[in-house]
């Protein structure tokens, strides 16, 4: 049996060995990839609970480990119902009959979308989930058992696909590169080992190296500045654009357009860790037991899609998108606990403003209902 301590120790040793093989230094993107996705050891590659409302569970009166963070589908089924209205329109307009979801988590969003589409009589041949986590797949299968005939799982995208693509809090979990400006000189911030690690448990430390990499916008001034660039996330969007022969795509995540992302006052970067519903800024400890994320540069996402032939359907905050898709109407007939949780999705100081939605189309442009009001594509 793999205990939490043994899991951390094994992952630490594996990453330390990788650093030694790389002449003593790896970029944070390489570090994140191993910390999150190393087979059997990374955060998303083992069986601990990740998604849920509480940091603990109670079994037979005994408090046990719970989840690390909550996403919108775990908060209320009205999130998935609202998104399904946009999915239904996209399926009809594009003449497709398949949904592709990346990183389906607990399976809650897939269940909500499938139930809503079924209730509305929307024809759907298949719901395909792209997820590399075996443990999450098991949970998804249990959650989606009533739709077993429609749902199937794949490890990677085919060469060509048609349908509506969904990604809720997917882009933020893709590894980033860290750039640090110190005394006017740009460096790439990576990870090294502290001191002589021959016989001791690995201790990871930050180490900066001069680089030719730069943020996509020049950051005014020469003050010390830490930020991220997102080559892997943008490459993912380009790959999707190359493969999407017909259909649309919608990504929901927290982030900003690049003018806000690289604002001089946002000088400490956005990398965050999440564990037991608490956040911290140190990804170098408790490896395998906490999520590591970075905010999304939606301008970079939009440009990556354009480069691959995708057009932008719209871009707005989550509050406008969900209200455009009928959330308020559903809240009026929901019970009080459901209304309270749904409000968190659209309140400015909760998820309503920080979370954004971007939509893409392949082919001819059309008016997506989710962007009817509040579209801010012009800010990208």
Closest CA to 288 of 45, 25, 1: 45
pLDDT at position 53: 52
Rounded CA gap, 325 and 339, in Å?
Answer: 16
Domain count for the chain, please give it.
1
Kindly state the DSSP code that residue 45 receives in the 8-state scheme. G
Beta strand 278-280 pairing with 272-275: antiparallel
pLDDT at position 64: 42
pLDDT at position 58: 45
Rounded CA gap, 255 and 230, in Å?
Answer: 12
Rounded CA gap, 167 and 18, in Å?
Answer: 31
Count CA atoms within 13 Å of residue 179 on its CB side: 19
CATH code of the domain in which 344 resides: 3.40.50.12710
Sequence-ordered list of residues with C-beta below 8 angstroms from that of 59, at least 6 positions apart, any chain: none
Q: CA–CA distance from 90 to each of 3, 109, 173 (Å)?
A: 45, 17, 26
Which parts of the chain register pLDDT below 50?
A: 1-2, 51-52, 56-58, 62-65
Rounded CA gap, 81 and 323, in Å?
Answer: 12
Tokens of 328: 């308020």
Closest CA to 322 of 361, 351, 360: 351
pLDDT at position 222: 84
- Mean pLDDT (the chain, rounded): 91
Q: Please give the residue range of the domain that contains residue 310.
A: 1-380
Q: Where are the beta strands (DSSP E) in the chain?
A: 26-27, 56-59, 62-65, 98-102, 126-130, 151-154, 161-168, 177-182, 185-193, 204-210, 225-229, 244-256, 272-275, 278-280, 291-293, 296-297, 311-317, 355-362
Rounded CA gap, 286 and 4, in Å?
Answer: 9
pLDDT at position 199: 60
Rounded CA gap, 10 and 41, in Å?
Answer: 7
pLDDT at position 68: 61
Closest CA to 219 of 207, 211, 228, 209: 228
pTM of the predicted model over 0.85: yes
Packing angle between helix 108-119 and helix 77-94, nearest 10 degrees?
60
Is residue 335 classed exposed, middle or buried when 0-12, 13-18 and 19+ CB atoms within 10 A define those classes?
Answer: exposed
Beta strand 161-168 pairing with 98-102: parallel
Q: Rounded to 5 degrees, what are φ and ψ at 353?
A: -100, -45
């Amino acid at each position: 049996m793999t205990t939490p301590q043994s899991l951390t120790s094994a992952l630490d040793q594996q990453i330390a060995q990788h650093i030694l093989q790389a002449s003593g230094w790896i970029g944070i993107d390489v570090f994140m990839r191993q910390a999150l996705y190393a087979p059997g050891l990374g955060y998303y590659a083992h069986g601990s609970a990740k998604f849920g409302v509480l940091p603990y569970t109670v079994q037979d009166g005994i408090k046990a480990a719970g989840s690390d963070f909550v996403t919108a589908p775990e908060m209320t089924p009205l999130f998935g119902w609202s998104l399904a209205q946009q999915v239904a329109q996209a399926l009809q307009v594009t003449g497709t009959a398949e949904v592709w979801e990346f990183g389906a988590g607990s399976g809650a969003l897939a269940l909500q979308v499938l139930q809503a589409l079924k209730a509305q009589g929307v024809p759907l041949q298949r719901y395909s989930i792209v997820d590399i986590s075996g443990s999450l797949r098991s949970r998804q299968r249990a959650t989606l058992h009533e739709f077993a005939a429609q749902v199937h799982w794949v490890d990677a995208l085919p060469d060509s696909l048609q349908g509506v693509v969904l990604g809720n809090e997917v882009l933020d979990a893709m590894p980033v590169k860290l750039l640090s400006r110190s005394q006017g000189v740009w460096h790439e911030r990576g990870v090294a080992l502290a001191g002589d690690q021959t016989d001791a448990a690995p201790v990871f430390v930050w180490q900066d190296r001069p680089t030719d990499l730069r943020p996509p916008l020049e950051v005014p001034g020469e003050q010390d500045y830490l930020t991220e660039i997102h080559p892997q996330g943008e490459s993912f969007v380009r790959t999707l654009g190359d493969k999407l022969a017909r259909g649309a795509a919608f990504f929901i995540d927290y982030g900003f357009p690049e003018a806000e992302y690289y604002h001089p006052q946002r000088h400490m970067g956005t990398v965050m860790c999440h564990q037991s519903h608490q956040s911290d800024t140190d990804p170098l400890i408790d490896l395998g037991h906490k999520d590591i994320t970075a905010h999304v540069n939606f301008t970079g996402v939009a440009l990556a899609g354009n480069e691959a032939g995708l057009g932008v359907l719209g871009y707005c905050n989550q509050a406008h998108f969900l209200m455009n898709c009928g959330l308020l109407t559903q809240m009026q007939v929901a019970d009080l606990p459901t209304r309270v949780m749904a409000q968190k999705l659209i309140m400015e100081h909760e998820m309503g403003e920080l979370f954004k939605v971007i939509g893409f189309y392949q082919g001819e442009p059309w008016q997506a209902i989710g962007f009817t009001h509040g579209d801010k594509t012009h800010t990208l």
